[in-house]
Structure 1
Amino acid sequence: MQKEQISVFDIFKIGIGPSSSHTLGPWRAAQQFVRLLQDRQVLELVTGVQVLLYGSLAKTGKGHGTDIAILLGLSGDDPVTFDVNRIDDKVNHIKTTRQLQLGNSHQVAFSYEDDLLFLFHESLPFHPNAVTFQALLSNGKALSETYYSIGGGFVVKEDGGGQQRPEVDLPFPIETAADLLHWCRKTGLKISEVVMENEQAWRPEQQTATGLLDIFQVIKECTYRGCHTTGYLPGGLNVARRAASLNRRLVKDYSYHNFDEWIAAVRKTGNGFQNILDWVSCFALAVNEENASFGRVVTAPTNGAAGVIPAVLLYYLAFCDGYSTNHILQFLATASEIGSIFKKGATISAAMGGCQAEIGVSSAMAAAALTECLGGSQRQVLMAAEIAMEHHLGLTCDPIGGLVQVPCIERNTMGAIKAITASQLALQSNPDQAKVSLDAVVRTMWQTALDMNSKYKETSDGGLAVNIPISLPEC
């Protein structure tokens, strides 16, 4: 049987915050619907469009920017290239003119209040994150399609359609951690090397390397921007940005003018455990404050958990003498494989599994990547991933106000610190004595997800979301 095929570029995607499942996924779904209209040659016949949001997309959609993402996706804009500084103007123009430029080529009437419907009390059985697009045609017919945003920016239809890349013959097909370890033992390759061999089934190795360095470039820009931007996060909670002030205190009197000079200054100030701990938190805060502000980030494996991988990667680059192209590629390749194992065996969607599926998975990815880069064996790498997830099991997703801010941003700092701790534990341990395998913790995480009350699965119906009284302005 053909195993599920997940590329490194499925786990790491460039997009716009604040959520991969509620922003990037619906954005991609809207783009797919426009392509469907084009492929069937009915785009010019469309007289109106209605959008129906179900389940978690309805309940926390406004706080997660689902409505904004769908409007931009229907307009033909792409999250990888769209200027984030134009988001407010573009969305306000659609709302005030009550006109939508469908696919950037065909204008139709569109009422934000009447044509974008949040069905708070309705869910579809296939997945909690569901969106239906309906197009009314001038010939009296209609076209409707339902998409599911299943986490990490992945979008599928109930029949399994929606994925764009064709299947290939992978030299090392992997479904579980046991499969991965089998290939490592058989070939003697590191985990990152197995990943890069598999990626060659899709594209030349240099193209993969270039793509990963593009991912790293976005991580650099996002972290640097987040460490130098002050103010408050949008959405009405009035959460103050903290990364910039923390960066100022930590960097002291060192001057710099770009990312590389900044990292050099960071390295000089990391002269003790407390300072390094503060820097790791600063990195994570910076990324997720950018994410909450509709900034450009990298899903890792999701937007809500986008700060963990950058924080641990920059910790390695700044404080472990790891700043080289090869180390960056090694880190990202290793992390992606752990993320894909969780995607195949459980979920990376908080709407399906709570925050263990986002922060927990990202922490496991980062722990594994750091362990390989620090010279750990393949079994120690898997052990580090297991330790990190084991101590995130049961973590709920209960965003206050449906915003990816509280407790989401601070959770990224916790996930990063746990990843570093898990790596250190694995490097100082004998995997022969381990009592829990990575595959066992993946199964346990999925079982926990199935048992978890829906109130704690990104619905804002329980937990902190109902115990912290707030009054948000109308969108």
Structure 2
Amino acid sequence: MSTTGYVSALDLFSVGIGPSSSHTVGPMRAGRSFAEEIRDLGLLADVGRVETRLFGSLAATGLGHGTPDAVLAGLEGLEPETCDPAAVRDLAPALESRGTLRLLGESPVPFARGDLVLAPLTRMPEHTNALSFEAFDGAGSSILRRVYFSVGGGFVVRQGDEEGAVPEREAPLGFASAADLLAVCDREGLSIAGVARINEEFLHGEEALDAGLDDRWSAMESCIETGLATGGVMPGWMKVPRRAHDVATHLRRVEADGGAPDVPPQWLQAFALAVNEENASGGRVVTAPTNGAAGIIPAVGHYAGRFLGVSRDALVGQYLLTAAVVGSLYKRNASISGAEAGCQGEVGTAASMAAAGLCAVLGGTPRQVENAAEIAMEHHLGLTCDPVGGFVQVPCIERNAIAAGTAVSAARLALLGTGEHFVSLDTVIETMRQTGRDMSTNYKETSAAGLAVNIVEC
């Protein structure tokens, strides 16, 4: 048995709400965790006030990402997997108006605007996505304080915990790198998805695994359908129009008139736009591996099913598992957090995962799959995270549409080769990590440079 380098697909792909896995889903989970600890310590009745502080990137772009609403929703006991997205939207002003916060939905404590503090210039050494909760009794004395880090993809780590940023999993076929993974495939005579299935069934059992994967793919498909059916504008001062609905309407007309050769790739882009417009509007999405990059894997998979003849069973059982294995390597050896690595860590990783999954379902060997993943990331290196206004809209939504096309191209290129190539996936992952380390903080989800400061707010 080995715990080395394995992150479960059911952890990496989690159902939540938009607009951000690290700024919405993670903070909500942290808030609920803190409230549950208060309850478990028998302190609910003693709490007279709770103060929340957001640091670094969480504070810099928190308003556009809905972070204040999310942390308060978590304190009130909501979970991203099951909550009504409408119950989270604009929760902070609603609680301020009400004057009370209900811990876990049952224990009311006073709440005022000053109980939620933004500190964008304070960056904790462990991670820029940091937040703290402190509970005080009626006399103003602190009774419990905790610091959490939202490390990307909805994963949350409490300061001082030994688990680290990645859930350690004991698995029969462990691997720490792509080279290790290929060696396991060779030794066992398995595909990458085959390696994943053995590990996942060990962790969850066959029935729970299949149900979990099916649930996540169904959520991805539902998100595409909802996004294609919904028009209007997205939240925020920019009033960015939703485009997927109009694109889909146009493409249906073209198809009704006999079609055109470029219709399938246009649908691919429409699928990605649909998901990320839903995400930007706070709707139900699946982290893949993050919310900001949530459109790429669903779009490529949906495209493969509709235009390339790939069965739903193959998408659920092979495409998602292959993509998850590649995502686990990025999670383990670099980062999937835009606040830590820039958009290369989110959109680049998602494109790499999708390329690998597509290559696999189109018959690629493990080495061709590894090559597809490498090609997709190689051409996202250095991509900055500079969301205008802190919203996950511009340039984020279109980046998903373009990256979906890159993923398909990468898979096609890999399938044309033998699997032998000059730059390994491990090399490109390490290069991404180094590039993220060297990248200015201004370009890592702080909205302090790039497009974020060159678009005039009006």
Please, what TM-score do these two structures have when normalized by structure 2?
A: 0.96
Distance apart, 1:120 and its partner CA: 1.9
**Residues 66-465 of structure 1: pairs in structure 2 closer than 5 A:** 66-88=67-89, 90-111=91-112, 113-138=113-138, 140-161=141-162, 169-252=170-253, 272-432=260-420, 434-465=421-452
Which residue matches 2:52?
51
| CA 191–272 in structure 1, closer or farther in 2 if over 3 Å, else same | farther
Report what 1:262 is aligned to: none
Task: Please provide the CA RMSD for this pair.
Answer: 1.9
CA distance, structure 1, for counterparts of residue 90 and residue 438 of structure 2: 43
For structure 1, the residue ranges without an aligned partner over 5 or more in a row are: 255-267
Aligned equivalents of 2:227 and 2:71: distance in 1? Answer: 25
Deviation at 1:431, TM superposition (A): 2.1
Change (3 A) 1:150 1:325: same
**Structure 1 CA distance, aligned partners of 2:362 and 2:284?**
29
For 1:169 and 1:87, the matched residues in 2 are separated by: 35
Greater displacement, 323-332 / 297-306: 323-332
Task: Write the deviation string for residues 154-175 of structure 1: whole angstroms up to 9, x where unpaired.
Answer: 1002323577998553111121
Match of 1:263 in 2: none
How far apart, CA to CA, are the structure 1 residues paired with 2:261 and 2:161?
Answer: 48
Distance 1:337-1:82 versus aligned 2 partners, 3 A rule:
same
Q: Do 1:270 and 1:319's aligned partners in 2 also have CA atoms closer than 8 Å?
A: no
The one-letter code matched in structure 1 to 2:339 is A
String of CA shifts for 1:26-66, please: whole Å, max 9, x gaps.
Answer: 01110110111112111121110000110000100000111
Instruction: Classify 1:356/1:168 alpha carbon distance in 2 versus 1 (closer, same or farther; 3 Å).
Output: closer
5+ residue gaps, structure 2: none
Matches of 1:128 and 1:144, distance apart in 2: 19
- Secondary structure (helix, strand or coil) at the match of 2:53 reads strand
Alpha carbons of 1:166 and 1:418: their partners in 2 closer, same or farther (altered >3 Å)? closer
Q: CA deviation at 1:205?
A: 1.2
2:445 aligns to what SS in structure 1?
A: coil
Contact 1:269-1:275 within 8 A present in 2 as well: no
Question: What is the CA–CA distance in structure 2 between the aligned matches of 1:270 and 1:336, rounded to whole Å?
Answer: 38
**What is the identity, as a one-letter code, of the residue corresponding to 1:306?**
A
Provide the secondary structure at the position in 2 that maps to 1:123. coil
- Fraction of identical pairs, as percent: 45
1:337 Cα deviation (Å)?
0.4
Residue 169 to residue 354, structure 1, CA distance change in 2 (3 Å): closer
* Contact 2:157/2:165 (8 A) holds in 1: no
Secondary structure of the residue aligned to 1:80 is: coil
- 5 Å-filtered alignment, 1:31-46, equals 31-46=32-47
Aligned to 2:455: 468
Q: Do the aligned partners of residues 164 and 435 (structure 1) sit closer, same or farther apart at CA in structure 2, a change above 3 Å counting?
A: closer
| Deviation (angstroms), 1:287 | 0.2
What one-letter code is carried by the residue in structure 1 that aligns with 2:160? D
Q: Compute the TM-score of the two structures, normalised by the length of structure 1.
A: 0.93
Question: In the aligned structure 2, how far is the partner of 1:163 from the partner of 1:75?
Answer: 26
Deviation for aligned residue 1:329: 1.8
Q: Across the two proteins, how many residue pairs are aligned to each other?
A: 456
Q: Distance in 2 between matches of 1:130 and 1:141?
A: 20
Q: What does residue 264 of structure 1 align with? A: none
Distance in 1 (CA, whole Å) between partners of 2:335 and 2:318 is 24
CA distance in 2, matches of 1:307, 1:269: 28
Q: CA deviation at 1:22?
A: 0.4
The CA deviation at 1:245 is 0.6
SS at structure 1 position matched to 2:161:
coil
